[in-house]
Amino acid sequence: LQQGADLVATNGEGSSFLLTAVASGVAAPAIEALLDNGAFADVAGPDGLTPLQIVVAALQEGVQDSIERERLETIKALLEKHGAKMPAIPAGERLAEMRKTFGLKVVTSLLTLQCPLSLPVEVLEVLNVLLRELPL
């Protein structure tokens, strides 16, 4: 942080500093420092899970270690203090909702309006996910 780390940046796997720290068992004061210095509390990782969802899932699994439980509860409170909210639709169901909403017709329309080679890589990745799962 002292050298100006970009807290919005992601690693090669698509995870932010905050998401990696939460998932790796980093202490709550370090999580708080990331949040206080501009890390976004609600940014999901490549699997669609936010830091808050990871913490809540771990707590629901029944953490036996009292120190780890306290760490997770403190991080949960910090994330909520910085605006994190549980999504209305669970991560696994979000993709299904996108498929229903954006379906094959929207994908076809998008591809007929613009040459696929000129689309941003991010759009192509979303299309890849959607097309893999659509019933054709």
| Structure confidence by residue, pLDDT tens digits, 78-103 | 999 998 888 776 655 665 666 666 66
Residues 100, 106, 107, 108: is their CA dihedral positive or negative? Answer: positive
**What is the pLDDT averaged over residues 100-112?**
63
pLDDT at position 111, please? 63
11 pLDDT band, cuts 50/70/90, is: low
Reading the block at residue 67, the tokens are 């120190």
pLDDT at position 27, please? 94
- pTM of this prediction exceeds 0.95: no
More confident residue, 73 or 46: 73
120 pLDDT band, cuts 50/70/90, is: confident
